[in-house]
Amino acid sequence: MIPSLTLLAADAAQAAPSSGSLIDLAKAQLPTLITIAAALGAVLGAVSYLIYVERKLAAFMQDRIGPNRVGPWGLLQPIADGLKFILKEDVIPAYVDRTLYLLAPCIAAFTTMLAFAVVPFGPVDNAPSFHRFVIVPNVDIGIVFIFAIGSLAVYGIILGGWASNNKYSALGSLRASAQVISYEIPLGMSVLGVALLGGTLNLEKMLMNQAEAGVAGWYFWTQPLACLIFFVAALAESNRLPFDLVECEQELVGGFHTEYSSMKFALFFLAEYTHVITVSFLTVILFFGGWHFPGIAEPGTIGFGAMLVKLGVLLTKVFMVILVIMLIRWTIPRFRFDQLMGLAWKVLIPLSTANVVAVMTVLQFGWSRWWLTLISGALFLAAGFIGVQQAQVALNQGPRRAKGHVAHAH
């Protein structure tokens, strides 16, 4: 008995990691920890001040002043809003499913933050060893990972609406499920053309393919229709206007978050804006060359200054996409729910399917990739022509139906 116990103790001591190996493991994981801390802090700070920028932009478009009381030009308003969320009374209605009610905003925030893990938010070709500008590098299925994790965010919305035990919240969660199921199809198919052209699903390789090919190699030039489909579907996935049917105030009071307040509501808002940031990064990386810009940020340039220039170029492009998303919110009116579903199933899915077939055809026969630009334009014009024809038919049938109702009434 004693010899066997001695052997077990010796095996356990051999299997247990030594203090030296633990220190080596900590050093090996240090770049990852630094990257996580930097990305998390940057995203949280960006969300706070993007809300400030959107409020100022909305005020400008509506001939108002916007936030200007807290700090110079209102620059401390995001800090005041954050303190308000923290100090506000945490109200939980008595009739909710408490467990799911509290879990829903956590799921929404966690999934959107996790999806950002494989997004390169800076140059990855010659980045310094202590900071990689991507939390999880060299993920060969990076874009699939983002779609898989990002789609889980809708579970937070569905659980929040269901657990609130509120009819308006339940309707909002049902709309969210239908919306996500519908728009995930064109969202994924719009990226298939880019994946076929680049021969990879790795975001870092997609970016480098465009940078090495120059500005003419940006996928936007050969995939403009795919870029438009991706952008529209991504707006619907992130519940931004004109696709915010899950929370529209005119119909559902506040939708899925009607019963939420304090930090629980803030987590839902954080999830939405983090999704917007992720979508903007993906749009720039997939279609606009990422950090590449001719004559300013080129592949192969080494040094701290070159790294900062590439980072600045990428963040500038991302900020421009975010500004477009903000302008759309205060420009285009909200869709009806039947229009939302019709846009996905009758327009975006057929167009994305036709685009994938066009890319496969061009690659199979070895044609010039610039044919894809002409095909994208032709598909867009054909869809517009069909839409106009259907609208005219609907307008002509409207008076006839009205006359039929009048005659039936007599």
How do the domains of the chain map onto residue ranges? 92-391
Phi/psi of residue 100, nearest 5 degrees: -70, -35
What lies within 8 Å, CB to CB, of 244 at 6+ separation is 334
pLDDT of residue 135: 82
Taking alpha carbons only, the member of 315, 250, 271 closest to residue 119 is 315
Digit-coded pLDDT (tens) for 211-270: 888 888 899 999 999 999 999 999 888 888 788 888 777 777 777 888 888 888 888 888
Digit-coded pLDDT (tens) for 22-70: 566 555 677 777 878 888 888 888 888 999 999 999 999 888 988 988 8
Digit-coded pLDDT (tens) for 327-350: 998 888 888 888 888 899 989 999
- Nearest 5°: the CA angle 294, 299, 303 is 110
Rounded-to-integer distance, Cα 150 and Cα 118, Å:
12
Rounded-to-integer distance, Cα 42 and Cα 28, Å:
23
- The encoded tokens of residue 270 equal 């954080």
Taking alpha carbons only, the member of 219, 216, 272, 225 closest to residue 244 is 272
pTM: 0.86
What is the per-residue burial (b if ≥16 Cβ within 10 Å, else e) of 124-160?
bbebeeeebbbbebebeebbebbbebbbbbbbbbbbb
- Nearest 5°: the CA angle 382, 383, 387 is 115
Other Cβ atoms within 10 Å of 336 Cβ, number: 11
